[in-house]
Amino acid sequence: MQSTTAQTSQTRDLVIGLDELANVLGKTPDYLKRNWLKLHQKLGMPRKHPAAFIWPRGAINVWLTSQAYVEAVPGNDNTGDLPPSLHETRVAEQRAALHASMGVGE
């Protein structure tokens, strides 16, 4: 079965080539050839197709628009020494602020 022009253009719309992606990222094609794997490992850029320097257009669009690969910052970093009275101090401060906002005297 012969490939038609419509099939070729549909297939072409599924992928983004080296030159176009380099332009979108503001890099040179040579830079992208050398560093695509590092970009994948460190920034979560989608992997290229194994047969050529092409990438799935949908995955690239998601990656560029969603910050799909953002490393989580620890939200509960309890390293370091805290004074034993810190908890009681914070509770007292919060209680005083709550009472003040409600107009309640102690």
In tens, the pLDDT along 10-38 reads 777 899 999 999 999 999 999 999 999 99
Is position 26 within any domain?
yes
Q: How many domains does the chain have?
A: 1
Is position 78 within any domain?
no
- Is a pLDDT exceeding 80 seen at residue 80? no
Which of 23, 62, 28 has the alpha carbon at shortest distance from 45?
A: 62
d(CA 11, CA 41): 27
Is position 90 within any domain?
no
Is position 79 within any domain?
no
What number is the average pLDDT over the span 90-105? 85
Q: How confident is the model at residue 100 (pLDDT cuts 50, 70, 90)?
A: confident
Range of the domain at 58: 8-66
Is position 13 within any domain?
yes
- Is a pLDDT exceeding 60 seen at residue 105? yes
What number is the average pLDDT over the span 71-89? 70
d(CA 36, CA 53): 9
Q: What angle do CA 13, 17, 19 make, to 5 degrees?
A: 135
